[in-house]
Chain A
Amino acid sequence: MNQKNIAGKRKSKSDKCAYAMIFPAYFTFTVFILIPIFVVFYYSITNFNMYSKPELAGLKNYINLFGDGDFIISIKNTLFYTILTLFPQLALGLLVAIMLYRKSRLLPLFRTAFYIPNVMSMVCISMVWLWIYDPTFGVLNLILKFFGCAAEQWLQDTKMAMPCIILMSIWKSCGYSMVIFLSGLTSIPDSLYEAASLDGAGPIKKFYYITWPMLRPTTFFLLVTGIVNSFSVFEQVNIMTGGGPLKTTTTIVHQIYRRGFLEFKMGYASAMSVMLLAFSILVTAFVFKYGSQGQDVDVS
C-alpha cells in the first residue's frame, strides 16, 4: 500500500513535470496556429477587408471561389509544381545520399556543399536565380551562346517559366532530402548487405531488396513534409515571376497573398486558405492511407 502511494506520488510529480515540459510547445501551437486557424475559418464567411468590422457573408466567398478562373489555374499550377518538384527532389536526394554514404575525407565537404542551398534564404536564392535566368546577361544564356545556341527567354516564356522555378526549387531542396536519407541509410544494419553479398547479390539487387524497403519510413516522412511544403510555395514565385507570364506560375498561396494583401479581400483570401488547408489534409490523409505500408520493417 505504502509502495503504491509512493509510486502514485512519483507518477503525479512526473506528470506535472511532463505537462510543464510540453506546455511551451502546446501553448505556442495554440496561440500561433490553432487559434489563427479558427479565426481564418470565421473570416472566410465574412467580407473582412482588414480595417473595417467584418460582416457575415455566408458561403459567398466559397461559392465565388469555384467561379474564379485565377484560383482554378493556381490549383493546377500548385499541383504541377508539387509533382514535378517533389519526386525529382526525392530521387536526386536519394541518389546523392547513396553516393555520399561511404568513407572518405572529402565527404563532409561534398555533404556540406549539397546542403548549403537548403539553409539559405529563399529570397536570396530567388534573386540569384533571377540573375542566372536573365535573358540578356544571365549565365544560362551566356552558356547557350557559347555553344552557339539561341538565347532563351526563360522566365518570360510561358512554357519555360514554371519549369525554371521548379528547377531552382529542386536544387534548393534536394540537399535536405539527402541529409534525411543519409540518416536513414545509417540505420540499415551492415549485416543485411553482408548476407546479400554472400548470396551473390549485386549493387542493384541490394538497393532494390534492402536499401529501398528499409528507407520507406524515411521516404514517407519526406513525402508528407514535401507535399505540405510544396503546397505552400510562394516566395520564389512572387520574386521571380510575380505569378506570370499569363498566370502560368501563380500558385494558391500567391493568389491568397494577392487577394488578401493587395486587394484587401481578406475574407475571400481566408476562404482560399481554408480550401488550401482542406486540400493539404486530404492529400496527406491519402498518402498516409496508401503510402505508409511497410513502415515497420523488423530487422532484429
Chain B
Amino acid sequence: MRRRGAVLCVVSVICAALLGLAGCGNQGTEDLKESGAVNGSDSAKTRLVFLRVGTEPERKTYWEEAIAAFMEANPDIEIEYQECGYGDDFETKLNTGFASGTAPDVINFTMASMGTRVPLGQYTALDEYVNNWKGKDDFMQNALSLGSVRDSIYGIAVFPDPRILIYNKELFEQAGLDPSAPPKTWDELMEYHKKLVKKEGDSVVQTGFGIPTSGSNMQHYFSVFMEENGVKNLVDEDNNQVLCNTAEAVEAAEFMKQIADEGIIRWDSNNKDQNPFSSGLAAMTLGNTSDFHNWNQGAMEGKIAMAAPMTNKEQRTFCGMSFLFMSGETQYKEEVWKFIEFISSSEQMWKRYEDLGIPPLRESLKDRFIQISPEDNEAIYDSINYGTGSPKVAYANSVYNAVNDALEKVMYGVEDAKTALDTAADVIQQEIDNQ
C-alpha cells in the first residue's frame, strides 16, 4: 500500500514536471492556437495575438475600437489585444516571447527595434504584400522608407512621433512673455528659460525648459537638439559611422548643459510622470502629440500649446516612429497583412488624428491635415517627412546606453560634453567592430 503510494507520488511528480517542461517548448504557440481552433466556440476563426508598445488609455481605446471594426469586417479572424509599457519592459516581454516560441503575430514597436530584430529573423519582410498594396503610392514616401532595412520593407508606420516643443501659456504670461510667440531659436529658448526659472534659495521651484538629467530616454532630447544643429542621427547607419561626437553634436550637448546650469528640476526620463511640465513646474518641454493630448487635460486643459520645431542651423526635430511588424514566427501571414492593411487605411489614419492627434501619413490627407492648423501642422508634417528617426542598427541598444551614459555625465557636470561624447563614440565604435 505504502509502495503503491510512493510509486503514485513519483509518477505524479514526473507527469507534472513533463507537463511543466512541455510548456517551455517551442511548439507552445502552435499547440495553443490549434487547440483554440478545435475546441473554441468558433472553430473556423484564426486567432492572432497583437502586442503594442505603451499603455496609454486613449491609445488602448483606439486599438480596441480598431480591432473591433476589423473583426467585424473580417469575421473569420479574431485578434487578442495585448500591451506593455515602453522601454526595457517591452524589450524583455518580446525577447521572452521569441525565446519561448510564444511571440505575438503582430507587433507595434519602434523603428530602432528593426536594427536588432530584423537580423534575428523576428520580423517578416513585407515586400510581396506592399508591392501589391493599393495604398503604397499614397503612403508618405519617407515613412515607407523608414520601415525598410537593406531595401526590404519590414514595418508599416502607424504612429509618427515627432518631438515638439510644448509650452505652458499661463506660465509664459506670468513671466511677461507673449504666449503666442514661443521660442524659435536656441538663443530665444535660452532667453525664455532664464526668465521662467524661479528659485527659493538654492532650490529651483519652477524651471523654464523641462529636461531630464538621467534615465534611458535622454537620447531623444539630445537627438532633437542635435538635428536642429544639423546632425542627422546618432549613427550613420548606411556607413556605420558614429555621429554623436561631431562638433555639432557636442555643441548640442553643451547647450543642454547650459540650460541645466541656469536652473532645472532634475528628473529621470524613465519615469515620464516625473516630468515637471506635467505638474505645471516647467514652462516648456519636448514631447510628442500623445504627450500633448495627455497633458492638455484637467488643470492644464487649454493652457498649453505646441510650437513649430526650433532651429539653430536647421528647422528640424527628432521624429521617432512606431510601426506594425509581422512576426517572423507567425503562421498566419495573410491574416496579419490584412490587419496591417486595415490599420494603414485612410479612414483609420484620420481616426487616429481625430482621436489621438496623430498626424496622418498619406499624401491624400496632407492638405486636409495642414488646413486645420497651417503653421503647426506644416512643421509637424515636414518633421515627419524629413525625419530620420532612431538608427536601425543591430547595436542600437548599445548606442543608446553609451549616449545616455555620456549625457548623464554632462548633465551632472562629471565630464565636459566633448570628453563624454568621445568616450561614447569609442564604445559604439567597439560595438561596430564586433559586428
Give Cα distance in the complex from A17 to B3, angstroms: 7
Nearest Cβ distance between residue A47 and chain B, in whole angstroms? Answer: 9
Is the CB–CB distance between B120 and A242 below 8 Å?
Answer: no
Give Cα distance in the complex from A242 to B99, angstroms: 24
Q: Is residue A52 within 8 Å, beta carbon to beta carbon, of the partner chain?
A: yes
Q: Is residue B213 within 8 Å, beta carbon to beta carbon, of the partner chain?
A: yes
Q: Is residue A284 within 8 Å, beta carbon to beta carbon, of the partner chain?
A: no
Is the CB–CB distance between B13 and A13 below 8 Å?
Answer: no
Question: A20-B6, A27-B13 known; A262 and B203 CB under 8 Å?
Answer: no
Complex interface: stretch among A98-106, A114-122, A128-136, A180-188: A128-136
Complex interface: stretch among B189-197, B274-282, B351-359, B375-383: B274-282
Q: Is residue B230 within 8 Å, beta carbon to beta carbon, of the partner chain?
A: no
Chain B residue numbers with a CB within 8 Å of A50 are 95, 98-99
Chain B residue numbers with a CB within 8 Å of A31 are 17, 21
Chain A residue numbers with a CB within 8 Å of B412 are 158, 245-246
| Smallest Cβ-Cβ distance to A13: which chain B residue | B2
| B-contact bits for A216-237, CB 8 A (1 contact / 0 none) | 0000000000000000000000
Is the CB–CB distance between B99 and A155 below 8 Å?
Answer: no
| Smallest Cβ-Cβ distance to A245: which chain B residue | B214
B270 touches which of A51, A242, A246, A262 (Cβ 8 Å)? A242
Is the CB–CB distance between B121 and A51 below 8 Å?
Answer: yes
Question: A50-B95, A137-B279, A156-B267 known; A244 and B13 CB under 8 Å?
Answer: no
Q: Is residue A247 within 8 Å, beta carbon to beta carbon, of the partner chain?
A: yes
Give Cα distance in the complex from A17 to B274, angstroms: 59
Chain B residue numbers with a CB within 8 Å of A16 are 3, 6
Q: Is residue B398 within 8 Å, beta carbon to beta carbon, of the partner chain?
A: yes
Nearest Cβ distance between residue A97 and chain B, in whole angstroms? Answer: 36
Is the CB–CB distance between A136 and B265 below 8 Å?
Answer: yes
A23 touches which of B13, B116, B201 (Cβ 8 Å)? B13
| Smallest Cβ-Cβ distance to A151: which chain B residue | B203
Q: Is residue A199 within 8 Å, beta carbon to beta carbon, of the partner chain?
A: no
Is the CB–CB distance between B91 and A51 below 8 Å?
Answer: no
Is the CB–CB distance between A238 and B10 below 8 Å?
Answer: no
Is the CB–CB distance between A17 and B17 below 8 Å?
Answer: no
Is the CB–CB distance between B92 and A155 below 8 Å?
Answer: no
Q: Is residue B414 within 8 Å, beta carbon to beta carbon, of the partner chain?
A: yes
Chain B residue numbers with a CB within 8 Å of A27 are 13-14, 17
| A-contact bits for B4-24, CB 8 A (1 contact / 0 none) | 001101100110010001000
Q: Is residue A296 within 8 Å, beta carbon to beta carbon, of the partner chain?
A: no
Question: A150-B202, A261-B92, A262-B397 known; A241 and B266 CB under 8 Å?
Answer: no
Chain A residue numbers with a CB within 8 Å of B10 are 20, 23
Question: A153-B266, A241-B268, A264-B116 known; A246 and B3 CB under 8 Å?
Answer: no
Is the CB–CB distance between A242 and B215 below 8 Å?
Answer: yes
Nearest Cβ distance between residue B38 and chain A, in whole angstroms? Answer: 31
Which positions in A face B, CB cutoff 8 Å?
13, 16-17, 20-21, 23-24, 27-28, 31, 49-52, 130, 134-137, 150-151, 153, 155-156, 158, 238, 241-242, 244-247, 258, 261-264
Having A50-B98, A51-B99, one finds 17 other A-B pairs with CB under 8 Å, namely A13-B3, A28-B17, A49-B120, A134-B274, A136-B281, A155-B268, A158-B412, A241-B268, A242-B88, A242-B270, A245-B408, A246-B412, A258-B401, A261-B95, A262-B91, A262-B397, A263-B397
**Which 8 A-B pairs have CB atoms at the shortest separation, nearest pair first?**
A20-B6, A156-B266, A245-B214, A244-B214, A51-B120, A242-B270, A24-B13, A261-B92
